[in-house]
Amino acid sequence: MEITKTFVHTFKDSIRAKLRQFMRRSLYRYAFAVALITFAVHGMDAEMGAPEIALRGLIYFIIACAGILIVYVISSYVQSKNRVPITIRFSEAGLVVSQGVDSVNHDWCWIQSAEESNNLLTLVIRKTPRYELYLPKPECPDSEYKVLREWLVLHGKLLN
């Protein structure tokens, strides 16, 4: 059996990948950095108490997150305009990836991992820089989804 899926890298997919990365790996780093900067700037200020310093830190953190989100939105918009759709033919033996006129054979190692949520199957292709492909469950027939899920489990990409 062979399953063919076309992945179009839309703005929604790009921003979803960036926000997932931000929430999972970067948010606590920014919070820690802002806490250090806030303490360095206001920590020795005798006129300010701890609640005022904490409030300023929270304001700095919100401003930093808003700035990062603006950069993410702009970069996602640019990336979504420059992407060519990717067609992947899944089979038990391997994958055939077509992008434009180029077609490349890959084994299942090309997919580094897979994550399953309520209505989305995420295929992580590359971790640095992060590259993810999304397969919405409603757009995939149940029989194809079950076979694809079995292949991902068989090759150790999707953990039960």
Give pLDDT tens digits for 48-98. 888 888 899 999 999 999 999 999 999 889 888 877 788 889 888 888 988
H/E run at residue 68: helix 50-82
Residue 106 has phi, psi (to 5 degrees) of: -130, 155
Instruction: Report how far residue 117's alpha carbon sits from residue 99's, in angstroms, rounded to the nearest whole number.
Output: 27
CATH 2.30.29 corresponds to the domain 2-8+85-154: yes
pLDDT of residue 128: 67
Tens digits of residue pLDDT in 113-152 = 888 888 888 888 877 677 788 888 888 888 888 888 888 8
CATH 2.30.29 domain span(s) along the chain: 2-8+85-154
Question: The tokens 């703005």 sit on which residue?
Answer: 11
C-beta separation of 102 from 114 below 8 A:
no
The backbone torsions φ and ψ at residue 64, rounded to the nearest 5 degrees and listed phi first, read: -60, -45
* pTM for this prediction: 0.68
Q: Name the token pair of 110.
A: 């090309």
